[in-house]
Amino acid sequence: MSELTRLSVDEMRTGLLTGAFTALDLTDAHLKRIDATNEQFNSFLTICADKAREQARVADERIRKEGSQSPALCGIPIAIKDMLLTDGVETTAASKILKGFIPPYDATPVAKLKERDSIILGKTNQDEFAMGSSNENSAFGPVRNPWDPSRVPGGSSGGSVVAVALGQAPLSLGTDTGGSIRQPASLTGVFGMKPTYGRVSRYGVIAFASSLDQVGPFARSTVDLAYALDAICGYDSNDSTSMKREVPAFREELRKWEGKSLEGIRVGVPKEYFIDGNEPDVQAATQESLKTLEKLGAKLVDISLPHTEHALEVYYIIAPAEASSNLSRYDGVRYGYRSPNAKTLSELYSKTRAEGFGREVKRRIMIGTYVLSAGYYDAYYRKAQEVRTLIIDDFKAAFNNHCDVIAAPVSPTTAFKIGEKAQSPLAMYLADVFTIPASLAGLPGMSVPTTLDRNGLPIGLQLLGAPFTESTLLRVSQALEHAGNFDTRRNCS
């Protein structure tokens, strides 16, 4: 039943309710797909076959009893980034230092999916502790791009995005700290959304940079994204940054706007995102998408976000500083890897961390420790926070006075070759130059697949909104999706 892996979530839901197939059928089809493709693409670190089948049997029974009153994601298979804790299932953040760690509880987004009797297929590969833009930093090997296995899928949520692009799962969860949902979505031709900071609970999500991390979904259509958002969004008292805001019924909102024009929507076009460093095909694709938005009834408005040029530097001070603090807990004492070569307590700390962390993680810990140290805090960290406020103010001015949505490139390039930027940290960091500003501002953002470059590689359009305007982004995404002919299911069979 390989055709089941090509279905949208909407189609899966219909099939489950009509009895065309069961949740167990869906689960088996996706597990078979994972088994056939994972060795080549390395998207899953842990596959929960037995648990998934048991969950599927429970879901089938619930659907039999409750029918259309069962939760929308009941019986739908989902893949989970290894950054989210899963009760009884190894969670490593793709790091040697956490190999063998079995969490005693679920992250809130995972718990919400389990409450709905969704099927957890397994844990996906990623850059170690979500630090990377290519998924080459995993302690368990790189993930490969389905459009060209010699290329990266983007990062850090590379395994989650490839699971969806390959048809290993119809939905997956990733995390986005500086672009780790939007950039891989663009590089692999799927839809990905980073919700507003505070919209989705971070409880049980392994911390990288606490003021930036946010959980979000990958899917093969706008409607499927809405299914996931309906399930995972909402206030959580366990997370002090979770916002007490009413959550829209995202799928209902989309139904309301389906087939209607974008008349009344003002789309801001920031000049700072159209730079000489963009590949010509990326620049051309973005311009073509803007023309499509105009044809759909939207009004294009030229805007300026003047402090964008400082965002990369600000991010690579704030994020490493927070990482330095968060990762200090991995010391070989309480859980995770412990160096067998240590003879003293001091050696236990130093050798465990030297042997357990990968090169990129150690680099960022050292940067973060430096900028927080005496004599440098004011010069670096405090100054970076001040400039972050200016970046936030730029977006506030744009949304308050000029536009409802901002449209821009996701990444300056399409997917690059594995190893191409591995020896140049700065070149790698520049892959997130267009996604980082919205992360610093805590804004919702998404990538919408639009076209292919001359090498047949996907290009996405980035849509950004004011806080808690995910519905508006989904409306624009749906209009673009229906106006185009991008095949998000190409790699699913």
Active site residue: 180, 289, 324, 471, which one? 180
Strand-pair category, 171-176 with 214-219: antiparallel
Q: Other CB atoms closer than 10 Å to residue 382's CB: what's the count?
A: 12
Question: Given the structure tokens 């509880």, which residue do they identify?
Answer: 105
State both tokens at 118.
Answer: 């969704």
Annotate 38-75 with DSSP letters as a single string. Answer: HHHH--EEEE-HHHHHHHHHHHHHHHHHHGGGS-TTTT
Q: Does the annotation count 81 as an active-site position?
A: yes
For residue 348, the SS3 value is: helix
Partners of 216 in beta bridges: 174
Active site residue: 81, 123, 194, 351, which one? 81
For residue 465, the SS3 value is: strand
Q: Does the annotation count 304 as an active-site position?
A: no
Nearest of 71, 72, 62, 56 to residue 22 by alpha carbon:
56
Q: Does the annotation count 156 as an active-site position?
A: yes
Quick one: the chain helix, strand, coil %, rounded to 5? 45, 15, 40
The answer to whether 430 and 420 have CB atoms below 8 angstroms apart is no
CA–CA distance, 124 with 91 (Å, rounded to integer): 10
CA angle 213, 216, 217 (to 5 degrees): 155
Active site residue: 70, 134, 156, 289, which one? 156
Q: Other CB atoms closer than 10 Å to residue 37's CB: what's the count?
A: 19
CA–CA distance, 33 with 254 (Å, rounded to integer): 30
The answer to whether 181 and 175 have CB atoms below 8 angstroms apart is yes
The beta-carbon contacts of 241-244 under 8 Å, at least 24 apart in sequence, are 241/197, 241/198, 241/202, 241/210, 242/198, 242/201, 242/202, 242/203, 243/196, 243/198, 243/199, 243/468
For residue 161, the SS3 value is: helix
CA–CA distance, 170 with 90 (Å, rounded to integer): 22
DSSP 277: T
Catalytic residues: 81, 156, 180
